[in-house]
């Protein structure tokens, strides 16, 4: 009988498993709750009007149209019946498996304050990005309409909470939007007066980078007009703004870029997880008590050389390759590959429209050259010639014309439907 491999999640990890199982002779079912594969590293550019949604996401069916061995299901997984070896779907359906790969990623963590989400959306999906884009653009419109100076100021104050790469990238581009791109278009307000706050509870921004790069990033952000506030835990937030310590700051647009929570895979399986809900897997990326259930990417806690593998796209892809190699070897009756080993490619973050920091471990880069390397790397990893050309052209157009192309307010308010 043909071996049934069920893969849940068509993100970086899941899709890599599908790719590497080509020709392996198994029957693959790929389940995702969305119909597209998303390039999350450029999501912040959709949220800040630089790119359109279709430039960083691709219909999964189209990507796999030449793979008759793969059946794609648009469905939400809600559980696993380990005894009967079936995946449970939200609509009541069941999908049987011989091998199961869970690559369901992560979402935001609000550290016990989930009620903050409606006022401070995080950035994880296309819906999040268009929600944030809508709120940003509407804040400028509301400020233009308002005759009350205090209200105007609140509409023109933008707070980004959490200063990892995503927070830094968002703050830099929002400042650029307000200070360089929009001023000529508004008559009643001066958008250069907009305040962009980057609020970080820890002592410095980009904590995973060396201190030198973090200091450089702070200076670059400040040059762009971002107010960087470190050592500033947010104690409350709501419609009216954020509270840092006991100091309220009126602001109408707040974005959450702090904290990560793994998908519910650990709960479905009833197994041990770490504090962020990541499933503790063996060094072969399987459950310790079931060599036919693999968990990988942002939803797995994996350690190599005593260090936890970070939640980044290259790690998920490398794990996807490893899992596919394990399944292929097992199918062919060959010895299984050894433990998974992570190869770190470096940490990258952009700061505004043409500066970046890169930490390759042995050496570091910053400024415009780093931005070019960041840009080329991201274009290389996009899927297909069309996307590469369109994204490169959008960046070039924005650079030459001082205009961002994706500034339409097109939808009603929507939040993530987790
Ligand atoms: C804003 C942002 C910026 C980032 N920037 C970078 C960067 O610059 N460089 C970098 O290396 N990494 C970056 N990352 C991290 C990187 O995107 C992740 O590490 C990577 O996507 C993890 O891959 P994955 O396969 O584990 O999960 P994902 O790529 O998140 O894929 C998970 C998939 O599972 C699906 N899914 C989830 N739950 C269910 C369910 N119940 N039923 C069915 N399907 C489900 C989702 O729809 C999704 O398609 C960024 C992440 C974000 C959010």
* Residue 234 CB contacts under 8 Å (≥ 6 apart), including other chains: 161, 199, 201, 242, 243, 244
Please identify, among 234, 258, 282, the residue that sits at the C-terminal boundary of a domain. 258
Domain count, the chain: 2
Task: Evaluate whether residue 299 is within a structural domain.
Answer: yes
Q: Which of 258, 278, 310 is the last residue of a domain?
A: 258
Instruction: Tell the residue nearest (CA) to atom 23 of ligand 1.
Output: 12
Q: Considering only CA atoms, which residue is closest to atom 7 of ligand 1? A: 41
Ligand 1: atom nearest CA of 320 is 25
Beta bridge partner(s), residue 347: 359
Length of the chain: 418
Q: What is the pTM of this model?
A: 0.94
Whether residue 343 is contained in a domain is answered as: no
Long-range contacts of 224-228 (CB under 8 A, 24+ apart): 224/172, 224/175, 224/176, 224/179, 224/351, 224/352, 225/175, 225/178, 225/179, 225/192, 225/196, 226/171, 226/172, 226/175, 226/196, 226/197, 226/198, 227/195, 227/196, 227/197, 227/198, 228/163, 228/198, 228/200
The torsion angle over the Cα atoms of residues 325, 331, 333 and 338, rounded to 10 degrees, is: 20
DSSP string, 202-237: SSSSSTTS-HHHHHHHHHHHHHTTEEEE-S--EEEE
Q: Residue 362 falls within a domain, yes or no?
A: no
What's the CA-to-centroid distance between 190 and ligand 1, angstroms? 37
**Do 158 and 269 sit in the same domain of this protein?**
no
CB under 6 Å to ligand 1: residues? 8-14, 31-34, 40-41, 43-44, 76-77, 103-105, 123-124, 165-166, 263, 297-299, 311-314, 316
Specify if 42 maps to a domain: no
Predicted local distance difference test score (pLDDT) of residue 387: 84
Regions in the chain scoring below 50 on pLDDT: 416-418
| Residues spanned by the domain of 167 | 114-258
Same domain, 134 and 254: yes
Q: What is the CATH number of the domain that holds 22?
A: 3.50.50.60
Residues 290 and 324 in one domain: yes
pLDDT of residue 414: 55
- Given this model, what pLDDT does residue 413 score? 65
User: Quick one: pLDDT at residue 142?
Assistant: 96
> 411: how many CB neighbours lie within 10 A of its CB?
11
Q: Are residues 227 and 155 in the same domain?
A: yes
Residue 129, domain CATH: 3.50.50.100
Residue 241 forms part of a structural domain: yes
CA 7–ligand 1 middle distance (angstroms)? 15
pLDDT at 305: 85
Q: What positions carry a catalytic annotation?
A: 169
Kindly report each contact of residues 310-315 with a partner whose C-beta sits within 8 Å and lies 24 or more positions away, as own/partner.
310/208, 310/344, 311/106, 311/260, 313/12, 313/40, 313/41, 313/381, 314/343, 314/344, 314/345, 315/342
Output the residue whose Cα is nearest ligand 1's atom 33.
9
Please check whether residues 23 and 137 belong to one and the same domain. no
Q: Quick one: pLDDT at residue 390?
A: 87
pLDDT of residue 47: 94
Domain identity same for 122 and 241: yes
Query: Which of 6, 7, 8, 9 is the pocket-test mutation for ligand 1 (most atoms within 8 Å of CB)?
Result: 9
Of 332, 364, 389, the last residue of a domain is: 332
The pLDDT of residue 418: 39
My answer on whether 127 and 234 are in the same domain is yes
* Any domain includes 403: no
């Amino acid at each position: 009988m043909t071996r049934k491999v069920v893969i849940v999640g068509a993100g970086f990890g899941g899709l890599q498993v599908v790719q590497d199982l080509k020709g392996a002779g198994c029957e693959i079912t790929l389940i995702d709750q969305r119909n597209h594969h998303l390039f999350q590293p450029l999501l912040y550019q959709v949220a800040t009007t630089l790119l359109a949604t279709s430039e960083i996401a691709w219909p999964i069916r189209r990507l796999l149209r030449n793979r008759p061995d793969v059946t794609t299901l648009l469905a939400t997984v809600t559980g696993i019946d380990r005894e009967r070896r079936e995946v449970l779907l939200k609509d009541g359906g069941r999908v049987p498996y011989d091998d199961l790969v869970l690559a369901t990623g992560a979402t935001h963590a609000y550290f016990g304050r989930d009620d903050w989400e409606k006022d401070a959306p995080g950035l994880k999906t296309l819906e999040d990005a268009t929600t944030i884009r809508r709120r940003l653009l509407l804040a400028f419109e509301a400020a233009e309409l308002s005759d009350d100076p205090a209200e105007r100021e609140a509409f023109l104050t933008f707070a980004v909470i959490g200063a990892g790469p995503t927070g830094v990238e968002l703050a830099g581009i929002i400042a650029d939007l307000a200070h360089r791109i929009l001023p000529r278009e508004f008559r009643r307000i001066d958008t250069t007066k907009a305040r962009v706050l980057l609020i970080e509870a820890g002592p410095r921004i980009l904590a995973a980078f060396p201190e030198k790069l973090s200091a450089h990033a702070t200076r670059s952000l400040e040059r762009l007009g971002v107010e960087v506030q470190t050592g500033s835990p947010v104690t409350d937030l709501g419609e009216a703004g954020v509270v840092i310590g006991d100091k309220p700051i009126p602001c109408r647009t707040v974005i959450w870029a702090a904290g990560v929570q793994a998908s519910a895979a650990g709960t479905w399986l009833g197994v041990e997880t770490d504090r962020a809900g990541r499933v503790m897997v063996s060094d072969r990326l399987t459950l310790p008590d079931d060599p036919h259930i693999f968990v990988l990417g942002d939803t797995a806690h994996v350690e190599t050389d005593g260090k936890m593998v970070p939640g980044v796209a290259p790690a998920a892809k490398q794990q996807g390759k490893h899992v596919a190699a394990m399944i292929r070897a097992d199918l062919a009756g060959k010895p299984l590959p050894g433990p998974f080993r992570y190869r770190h490619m470096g940490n990258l973050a952009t700061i505004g429209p043409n500066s970046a920091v890169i930490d390759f471990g042995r050496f570091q880069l910053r400024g415009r050259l780093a931005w070019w390397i960041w840009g080329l790397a991201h274009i290389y990893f996009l899927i297909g010639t069309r996307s590469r050309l369109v994204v490169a052209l959008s960046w070039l157009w924005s650079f030459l014309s001082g205009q961002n192309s994706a500034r339409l307010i097109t939808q009603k308010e929507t939040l993530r439907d987790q």
